[in-house]
Amino acid sequence: MFTGIVTDVGEITSLTPTAQGQLHRLRIACRYDRATIADGASIACNGVCLTVVASGVEGGKTWFDVDAAAETLGMTTAKHWGVGTRLNLERALKIGDELGGHIVAGHADGVATIVSREDLPDMARFVLRTTRELARFIAVKGSITLDGVSLTVNTVDDVTFSVLIIPHTLNVTTVGGWRAGSEVNIEVDLMARYAARLTEMK
């Protein structure tokens, strides 16, 4: 489990397709302490929970390897990742940690497309479009996770919604580089999903 509070921005330094391209082995450079990364640990990469299969230090910088499987490549932006891609990173939540965002599973539901970006004084407003299936879980003032970042929904209009990004988030995540036409990973609020399921069962 995660909270959607990004703790580092990593960069893919190598990508090796295996299993006829159905699996990508990624090496990601980061600022985490190598001693705190165990094989089998979960790290959210742009909102996608991936399992560490190796780690080390090279050139004074920590790296870790993860595998992105066919399902991840098929339904998230991971299919577009390459060497040099910057990723929002978050370590798995520990009991007793501060829950600064909201409960995030790291299981991306799909992608949302950025419709527009409006730069405001020290802030930015993004309008995004998603599928009708996912839009039903998005509500004004509700929580949404975009590329691993916990955000509050400002407005909703059918299958489009908007978020307002504060200066801190623009500075410490990859959000500052978002542009119209780009795709981002989306995870809807877990509570909204369960509420919808309960309604369906009545």
Pairing between β-strand 86-91 and β-strand 61-68 as defined by DSSP bridges: unpaired
**pLDDT the model gives residue 98:** 77
Q: What pLDDT was estimated at residue 101?
A: 80
* Region 176-199 average pLDDT: 90
User: pLDDT tens-digit profile of 17-74?
Assistant: 987 778 999 999 999 999 999 999 999 999 999 999 999 999 899 999 999 999 999 9
Cα angle: 107, vertex 11, 150; to 5 degrees: 40
pLDDT at residue 202 greater than cutoff 80? no
On the question of pLDDT at 2 being above 70, the answer is yes
Distance CA 131, CA 169 (A): 25
Report in angstroms the alpha-carbon separations of 110 from 88, 107, 185, 190: 17, 9, 6, 14
Report pLDDT digits (tens) over 102-150.
889 999 999 999 999 999 998 999 999 999 999 999 999 999 999 999 9
Q: Which pLDDT does position 80 carry in this prediction? A: 95
Q: pTM of the predicted model, to two decimals? A: 0.93
Catalytic residues: 2, 42, 49, 51, 69, 107, 152
Confidence (pLDDT) at 174: 98
Burial class from Cβ neighbours inside 10 Å (0-12, 13-18, 19+) for residue 46 reads buried
Pairing of strands 8-18, 23-30: antiparallel
Angstrom distances, CA of residue 34 to CA of 63, 80, 95, 134, 200 = 8, 27, 21, 37, 46
Confidence (pLDDT) at 152: 96
Task: Kindly report, residue by residue over 170-185, the tens digit of the pLDDT.
Answer: 999 999 999 999 999 9
The pLDDT score that the predictor gives to residue 90 is 97
Q: State the amino acid at position 118 in one-letter form.
A: E
List 127's β-bridge partners, or say none: 116, 162
Q: Please, are residues 32 and 8 in contact by the beta-carbon 8 Å criterion?
A: yes
What pLDDT sits at residue 32? 97
Q: What are the Cα distances from residue 78, in Å, to 21, 48, 64, 197, 202?
A: 13, 9, 16, 28, 37
Q: What is the mean pLDDT of residues 176-195?
A: 92
**Per-residue model confidence as pLDDT tens digits over 126-137:** 999 999 999 999
